[in-house]
Every structure is written in C-alpha cells, then in structure tokens.
C-alpha cells in the first residue's frame, strides 16, 4: 500500500467529517506504518503524522482539532469548518 501526503490527509479528513471513527483512524495508521510504503519525497512528514495518528487513542496523546489542523498543515493542506443543520 503506497502512502502519500494525500492518503494521510484523506484519512484525517474522513475522521474530521465523521466518516471514520478514531478507532478506525488509529487502526489504519498502525497498518500503514507497519505495512505501507511511504512516498520517499515526503517520507519524514508522512512517517511522523502516521506515527502520531497511531497514538491518537492513548489518553496522554489524544487527537484535538489543533492537532489535526497542525498535521494537515504539515501535509500541505488547510482545514476549514462547514456547519450544517442537524437532520431532524
């Protein structure tokens, strides 16, 4: 499995949009770190962010909005918020 900046950003976006749970992101990060092939051009950033996501379920680390925004920025993305009415 090839892991690029886009791959990691997509995973973070899915979590922030409520499409994936924290447990799913942590599981993906563990698999990606152990079995993935990181894009050489961005190896350090991708490795660091994936490693951090792998610890997001540990109470001492967690995953805050600020953490996610910082990780996305390192990957070359900018986070934004879209507010929608709740379904009745």
DSSP output for 2-18:
EE-HHHHHHHHHHHHTT
Q: Looking at residue 46, what is its pLDDT?
A: 97
For residue 17, being part of any structural domain is answered with yes
Measured N-to-C along each axis, helices 22-35 and 5-16 cross at an angle, to the nearest 10 degrees, of 170
pLDDT in tens, the chain (88 residues): 899 999 999 999 999 999 999 999 999 999 999 999 999 999 999 999 999 999 999 988 899 999 999 999 999 999 998 888 988 6
Domain that holds residue 69: 2-74
pTM of the model: 0.90
Q: Looking at residue 60, what is its pLDDT?
A: 85
The total number of structural domains in the chain stands at 1
For residue 85, being part of any structural domain is answered with no
Q: Looking at residue 70, what is its pLDDT?
A: 97
For residue 84, being part of any structural domain is answered with no
For residue 59, being part of any structural domain is answered with yes
């Amino acid at each position: 499995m090839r892991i690029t900046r886009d791959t990691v950003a997509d995973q973070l976006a899915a979590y922030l949009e409520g499409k994936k749970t924290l447990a799913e992101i942590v599981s993906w990060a563990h698999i990606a770190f152990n079995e993935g092939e990181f894009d050489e051009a961005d190896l350090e950033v991708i490795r660091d962010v994936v490693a951090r996501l792998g610890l997001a379920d540990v109470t001492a680390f967690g995953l805050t909005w600020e953490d996610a925004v910082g990780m996305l920025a390192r990957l070359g993305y900018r986070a934004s918020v879209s507010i929608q009415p709740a379904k009745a």
